[in-house]
């Protein structure tokens, strides 16, 4: 697998909504009704939280 470049990683950060805390991120997922499919992670680039899609079914 190709590793994401720094540019791609920055994009992944700037294109996403940022949340001040994990709770904020999960609240937003809850409101959108997608909490089962999202997980919050702490972004190393901006130090805030983003929501990430959970992979269903492993592999």
55 is written with which tokens? 């992979």
Beta bridge partners of 40: 51
Residue whose CB is less far from Zn ion, 9 or 37:
9
Stretch that binds Zn ion, among 3-11, 13-21, 27-35, 51-59 (CB under 5 A): 13-21
Q: Tokens 């409101």 belong to which residue?
A: 31
Distance CA 37, CA 15 (A): 19
Residue whose CB is less far from Zn ion, 28 or 43:
43
Stretch that binds Zn ion, among 2-10, 20-28, 36-44, 51-59 (CB under 5 A): 36-44
């Amino acid at each position: 697998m190709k590793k994401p470049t720094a540019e791609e990683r920055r994009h992944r950060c700037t294109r996403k909504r940022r949340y001040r805390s994990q709770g904020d991120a999960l609240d937003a997922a809850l409101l959108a009704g997608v909490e089962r499919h999202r997980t919050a992670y702490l972004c190393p680039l901006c130090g805030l939280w983003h929501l990430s899609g959970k992979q269903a079914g492993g592999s």
